[in-house]
Amino acid sequence: MSTTTSADSQQSAPQVSNESSPALPNQQQQQQNKKEKKQAKKITEGEADLYLDQYNFTTTAAIVSSVDRKIFVLLRDGKLLFGVLRTFDQYANLILQHCVERIYLTGEHKGKYAEEDRGIFMIRGENVVMLGEVDIDKEDQPLESLEQIPFTEAQSIKKLNDDSKYASEIAKTKIYARHGLTHDFHKADMY
């Protein structure tokens, strides 16, 4: 005689998962993401500038915050240019608008300067030594204590100064060579 207990007579019911099919959560997640993107507000231009300013760029992208602002550029040949940066490329080639070339004299002519309008000026990136933004509110303060002279006069004085600097750098090169050292100097490097 066989006796069955109530536990034996109960057949185990198939396990039903509480989860839906795997495709459904992915679809729901995608739909949720689409809704969030639609609801996300657009970044204003000012917010974008703040966003970019948080990053330290090590390439020409560092110049992006200076576009449409007044900058100064020091060139390898010693020229100092002031103007509004309009655009640049990956080689740091620059386009300046309302460009002014300025010469500050030193030595016996200290305290004198000259300016010449250059209009729109393109600068090849490999000639740029340094550039930076100019505070337009404070730009003219140093000039108030200097005497402005004609640009051609300042140019001739600067040329004489550059020629004497070139001669002294060549003399240094010869002295260094006697000691087995090198001194990299090119005539174009007058900064």
Q: Which candidate, 107, 37, 103, 117, places its Cα nearest to that of 75?
A: 103
Cα–Cα–Cα angle for 138, 142, 146, nearest 5°?
A: 150
Which CATH architecture fits 66-173? Roll (2.30)
Which residue would you say has higher pLDDT here, 74 or 39? Answer: 74
Instruction: Give residue limits of the domains in the chain.
Output: 66-173
* Per-residue pLDDT, 178: 92
CA dist 188 and 162 (Å) reads 10
* Per-residue pLDDT, 28: 74
| Model pTM score | 0.65
Q: What is the pLDDT of residues 82-126, one digit of tens each?
A: 999 999 988 889 999 999 999 999 888 999 999 999 999 999 999
Give me the count of residues in the chain: 191
119 by DSSP, 3-state: which? strand
Number of Cβ within 10 Å of residue 179's Cβ equals: 6
Query: Which of 17-21, 43-47, 108-112, 138-142 is most confident?
Result: 108-112
CB distance 101 to 154 below 8 Å: no
Residue 7's pLDDT band (cuts 50, 70, 90): very low
Provide, rounded to the nearest whole percent, the portion of the chain with pLDDT above 70.
72
On the question of pLDDT at 68 being above 70, the answer is: yes
Show the DSSP H helices in 66-147 as ranges: 141-144
Tokens 């000039």 label which residue? 143
**Largest separation between any pair of C-alpha atoms in the chain:** 129
Q: Which residues contact 185 (CB under 8 A, 6 or more apart)?
A: 169, 170, 172, 173
Considering the chain, what is the average pLDDT of its residues?
Answer: 80
* Per-residue pLDDT, 113: 95
CA distances from 17 to 14, 56, 127 (A): 10, 51, 71
